[in-house]
Amino acid sequence: MTSIPPFSVISGEQVQRILSGRDDRTIDIVENAYVLHGEGRTVNPDSYFLRFPDRPSSRIIALPASVGGPVDVHGIKWISSFPENVASGIPRASAVLILNDTVTGYPFACLESSIISASRTAASAALAARRLSELRGVRPRRLGLVGTGLIARYVHRFLRAAGLGFDEIGLYDLSAEHAAAFRDHLRRGGDTPTVLHESAEDVIRSSDLVVFATVAGSPHVHDPAHFAHHPLVLHVSLRDLSPDIVLDSYNIVDDVDHCLKADTSPHLAEQRTGNRDFVAGTLHDVLTGRAVPPADRTVVFSPFGLGVLDLALARFVYDEAAAAGELHSVPGFFHERSRHG
């Protein structure tokens, strides 16, 4: 007989403890989710943006999704981005994630999800960097980070987990203070020479692998000549590059329909050209060998961020917490259980 599953809450502290030291596993989970998505075994509707007329830089996004196969879960991530938080000393983003049972549809868990979101974002970027570098036959030795917040920190960590080491790291942020703090963080974790740059252009020109992890709402890098040395670009923040740069590059996205909307840089390129011919393929195409990036062109990976990745990683966290007997259930959460009272 079908029954209502118990409802549990998993804190950020639990999420961090479960994922700590498992960056390799996280990358594998993200890769498997991309494979399921590419095989049509997921449902990933459009994300929904809640915006505020009096706070145009802020938004809250709903990412509903369903993942089949061994993951077997439905759910939704509800993630806010309030950049003004940083000035108050608290993180820009906060998030929760609800997991729904595939048999009854009942929610069975609520997880703190900012850590899950950052981890899957960084794992996706690292997975793309590793595979694209392998296929290009060019191992990047100089890493450049444009934007030095939490996502940059996670991306750097996951790049190392993916086996990408660097001889030099360049940093640029609109806030010199934040860039210096990130440099100090990197120095505490290793001895790779780290250089602070005065512009995004300087970072780009001095790097083989460039990561954009900003909160930019519109393009601020416009000249394709900055990329004349054909670096690999992880365009995580999606809105940094002008259409000219996009159209001059070999473009890989995580999902074409999702990435080409909401005025992302690829979306602006589509609006200019009226077509999507500049998109070479998806990350799943790269993983399966259907898209092979060239070494003599700039390669840009633009991931919109798929809800299926969050669900796959959240399911892993839930299963690990359950196996360890660490679920915090809420008795009586679903109280009205009788149809007729």
| pTM, rounded to two decimals | 0.94
Closest C-alpha among 305, 336, 320 to residue 124 = 305
Tokens of residue 21, six digits: 């030291």
- pLDDT tens sequence across 303-327: 999 999 999 999 999 999 999 999 9
Distance CA 278, CA 176 (A): 35
Give yes or no for a contact between 152 and 178, defined as CB atoms under 8 angstroms apart: no
Amino acid (one-letter) located at 114: S
The rounded radius of gyration (Å) of the Cα atoms in the chain is 20
Element containing residue 269 per DSSP (H, E): helix 265-273
- pLDDT at 189 (0 to 100): 83
Alpha helices in 215-325 (DSSP H): 243-247, 256-259, 265-273, 283-287, 307-323
Q: Which structural domains are found in the chain, ordered by start?
A: 8-116+307-329 (3.30.1780.10), 128-302 (3.40.50.720)
Distance CA 256, CA 280 (A): 10
Residue 339 vs residues 4, 108, 335, 336: alpha-carbon distances, Å: 13, 20, 12, 8
Per residue of the chain (341 residues), give pLDDT as tens.
688 889 999 999 999 999 999 999 999 999 999 999 999 999 999 999 999 999 998 999 999 999 999 999 999 999 999 989 988 989 888 999 999 999 999 999 999 999 999 999 999 999 999 999 999 999 999 999 999 999 999 999 999 999 999 999 999 999 999 999 999 999 998 889 999 999 999 999 999 999 999 999 999 999 999 999 999 999 999 999 999 999 999 999 999 999 999 999 999 999 999 999 999 999 999 999 999 999 999 999 999 999 999 999 999 999 999 999 999 999 999 888 777 77
- pLDDT tens sequence across 86-112: 889 898 889 999 999 999 999 999 999
- pLDDT at 335 (0 to 100): 85
